[in-house]
């Protein structure tokens, strides 16, 4: 309770205390701000004049730091226009004189009802997220509901599965969901990163020695059960592709057939690589037996509010921050943005914003400029006469990556080069250290 008049402070404070509330009685705004930073306060009774000081500084502080706190203004002003302005600025109720017990306690009861409603809404949000989540994947859109059904269907068959989608769409998460439903008991999930394999030729047998971890070797030698997930199969060098086909023949359909499931992921243009002759057609047809197309985030924007809520809850649990919220304007900006980096970009953006956030509510101003501006402006790079072709190429690749929020497939298409070429250039110019720092 914030009231400069000691008589009113004691009178109203005693009424509330006698009803069983714990009341902190404060006379100055400065002390109130310190108190709100240290104490868990649910209801605040504050003199109208103090609220109006410094262009409603206290209300701005409350809106940023304690948006769920119920504010009751006290005063003797019965002017409807004045009361309307207070309510529009976030005050929940107005208590005017006389401050008799029945009126004070009625206001407190309304405040308690408001707190209960807010808690019920939070619980409803949690239940909605759980309802529209499946194996750790969140989605209310019809496209994601179809994906959920496909996961259940393909988990029951032993054919290879090809997951197709842009970077950041959650292909590995879907692969793990299939694995989870294919093997209710605990079995290994082993991942090969084709993008990290060397591009030069090795002797027969070197592919699996160099790309598989010790766990994979144990799996193939003993258990022969589990899921082999091959990420970014479109980046697999051509000279390795015949060997991986031989492996599939031996361990999927040959004399050493077993319960090893194969899931591969790629981006949308694998057929184009086949037409160019840079990807074996027999390997493509083998992997493409069961194909799941994963939609980009821009095609399922109705999922975004649920993903935001889920990520904020996760950030809160990991960092120990107070409950994080996002205001309507910030959510509108997030919904308007196309998220070329998909779910990964959304999650990383929220984590970065939350790390720098001083209060508990994310506003539009807290979001990165590139998202607020929607990258609608023409982007220019600084190229001067006298630069070498290598310098120009490095700058162009680096800035195009940044403009595309590090979406490599989109960058490769924009530059008119192959994805493998882009990966090679990133390594050649040591761009990874620059763009991810």
The 3-class secondary structure across 358-404, one letter per residue, is CCCEECHHHCCHHHHCCCCCCCCCCCCCCCCHHHHHHHHHHHHHHHC
Residue 384: per-residue pLDDT = 82
- Where does residue 263 rank: exposed (0-12), middle (13-18), buried (19+ CB within 10 A)? buried
Q: Is residue 130 one of the residues assigned to a domain?
A: no
CA 245 → CA 6, 42, 207, 235, 253, distances in Å?
A: 85, 64, 12, 15, 11
Q: Is residue 129 one of the residues assigned to a domain?
A: no
User: Which of 294, 314, 330 is the last residue before a domain boundary?
Assistant: 294
Please, which residues bridge with residue 193 across strands?
231
My answer on whether 37 and 51 are in the same domain is yes
Residues whose CB is less than 8 angstroms from the CB of residue 60 and which lie 6 or more positions away in sequence, other chains included: none
Q: How many residues does the chain have?
A: 437
CATH number, domain of 50, equals 3.40.50.2300
Residue 223: per-residue pLDDT = 46
My answer on whether 175 and 288 are in the same domain is yes
Q: Is residue 132 one of the residues assigned to a domain?
A: no
My answer on whether 314 and 396 are in the same domain is no
Q: Is residue 144 one of the residues assigned to a domain?
A: no
Regions of the chain where pLDDT drops below 70? 77, 121-135, 197-224, 250-258, 374-379, 405, 433-437
Residue 81: per-residue pLDDT = 81
My answer on whether 18 and 104 are in the same domain is yes
My answer on whether 168 and 287 are in the same domain is yes
User: Which of 294, 328, 361 is the last residue before a domain boundary?
Assistant: 294
Q: Is residue 57 one of the residues assigned to a domain?
A: yes
Question: CB 70: neighbour CB atoms within 10 A?
Answer: 24
Residue 376: per-residue pLDDT = 42
Q: Is residue 115 one of the residues assigned to a domain?
A: yes
User: Which of 270, 294, 318 is the last residue before a domain boundary?
Assistant: 294
Distance, CA of 393 to CA of 388 (rounded, Å): 9
Distance, CA of 247 to CA of 260 (rounded, Å): 12
Residue 263: per-residue pLDDT = 93
CATH number, domain of 417, equals 1.10.10.60
My answer on whether 232 and 330 are in the same domain is no
Distance, CA of 132 to CA of 11 (rounded, Å): 50
- Give the three-state DSSP class for 34: helix
My answer on whether 163 and 263 are in the same domain is yes
My answer on whether 327 and 218 are in the same domain is no
- Give the three-state DSSP class for 245: helix
DSSP letter at 299? G
**How many structural domains compose the chain?**
4
- Diameter of the chain measured on Cα atoms: 92
Residue written as tokens 């914003």?
Answer: 353
Residue 344: per-residue pLDDT = 93
Element (H, E) at 73: strand 70-75
Strands 93-96 and 189-193: unpaired
Q: What is the token pair recorded at 348? A: 């990383």
Q: Is residue 247 one of the residues assigned to a domain?
A: yes
Query: Cα Rg for the chain, rounded, in angstroms?
Result: 29
- Give the three-state DSSP class for 64: helix
Residue written as tokens 């904020």?
Answer: 312
Distance, CA of 27 to CA of 6 (rounded, Å): 8
My answer on whether 367 and 404 are in the same domain is no
Residue 258: per-residue pLDDT = 60
Residue 393: per-residue pLDDT = 93
My answer on whether 37 and 86 are in the same domain is yes
Residue 237: per-residue pLDDT = 83
Residue 140: per-residue pLDDT = 82
My answer on whether 158 and 282 are in the same domain is yes
My answer on whether 205 and 311 are in the same domain is no
Residue 316: per-residue pLDDT = 86
Identify whether the C-beta of residue 230 lies closer than 8 Å to the C-beta of residue 239: no
- In which domain, by residue range, is 315 found? 298-372
Distance, CA of 388 to CA of 431 (rounded, Å): 17
Residue 172: per-residue pLDDT = 94
0.95 cut: is pTM over it?
no
Secondary structure of 153-173 in HEC code, one letter for each residue: HHCCCCCCEEEECCCCCCHHH
DSSP letter at 26? B
Q: Is residue 379 one of the residues assigned to a domain?
A: no
Q: Left (φ > 0), alpha (ψ -120 to 50) or beta: where does 218 sit?
A: alpha
CA proximity to 323, closest of 134, 118, 150: 118
Q: What is the token pair recorded at 253? A: 């359909």
Is the CA virtual torsion 360, 362, 365, 369 positive or negative?
A: positive
């Amino acid at each position: 309770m914030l009231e400069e008049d000691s008589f009113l402070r004691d009178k109203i404070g005693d009424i509330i205390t006698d009803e069983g509330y714990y009341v902190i009685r404060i006379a100055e705004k400065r002390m109130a701000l310190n108190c709100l930073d240290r104490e868990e306060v649910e209801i605040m009774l504050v003199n109208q004049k103090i609220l109006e000081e410094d262009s409603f500084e206290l209300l701005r502080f409350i809106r940023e730091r304690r948006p769920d706190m119920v504010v009751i203004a006290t005063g003797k002003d019965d002017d409807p226009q004045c009361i309307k302005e207070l309510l529009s600025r976030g005050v929940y109720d107005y208590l005017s004189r006389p401050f008799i017990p029945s009126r004070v306690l009625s206001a407190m009861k309304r405040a308690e009802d408001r707190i209960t409603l807010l808690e019920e809404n939070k619980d409803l949000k949690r239940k909605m997220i759980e309802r529209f989540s499946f194996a750790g994947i969140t989605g209310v859109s019809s496209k994601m509901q179809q994906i959920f059904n496909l996961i259940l269907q393909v988990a029951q068959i032993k054919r290879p599965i090809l997951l197709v989608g842009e970077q950041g769409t959650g292909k590995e998460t879907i692969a793990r969901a299939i694995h989870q439903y294919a093997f209710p008991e605990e079995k290994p999930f082993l991942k090969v990163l084709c993008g990290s394999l060397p591009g030069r030729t090795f002797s027969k047998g070197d592919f699996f020695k160099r790309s598989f971890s010790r766990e994979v070797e144990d799996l193939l030698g003993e258990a022969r059960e589990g899921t082999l997930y091959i990420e970014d199969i479109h980046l697999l060098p051509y000279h390795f592709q015949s060997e991986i086909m031989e492996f599939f023949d031996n361990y999927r359909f040959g004399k050493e057939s077993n319960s090893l499931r194969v899931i591969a992921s790629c981006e949308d243009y694998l057929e184009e690589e086949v037409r160019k002759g840079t990807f074996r057609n027999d390997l493509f047809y083998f992997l493409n037996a069961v194909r799941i197309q994963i939609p980009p985030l821009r095609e399922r924007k109705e999922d975004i509010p649920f993903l935001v809520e889920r990520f904020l809850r996760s950030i809160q649990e990991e960092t120990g921050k107070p409950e994080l919220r996002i205001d309507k304007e910030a959510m509108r900006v997030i919904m308007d943005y196309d998220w070329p980096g998909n779910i990964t970009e959304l999650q990383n953006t929220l984590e970065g914003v939350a790390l720098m956030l001083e209060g508990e509510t994310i506003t539009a101003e807290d979001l990165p400029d590139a998202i607020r501006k929607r990258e609608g402006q023409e982007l220019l790079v600084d190229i001067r006469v006298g630069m070498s072709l290598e310098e120009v190429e490095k700058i162009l690749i680096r800035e195009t990556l940044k403009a595309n929020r590090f979406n490599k497939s989109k960058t490769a298409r924009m530059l008119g080069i192959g994805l493998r070429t882009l990966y090679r250039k990133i390594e050649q110019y040591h761009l990874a250290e620059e763009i991810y720092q």
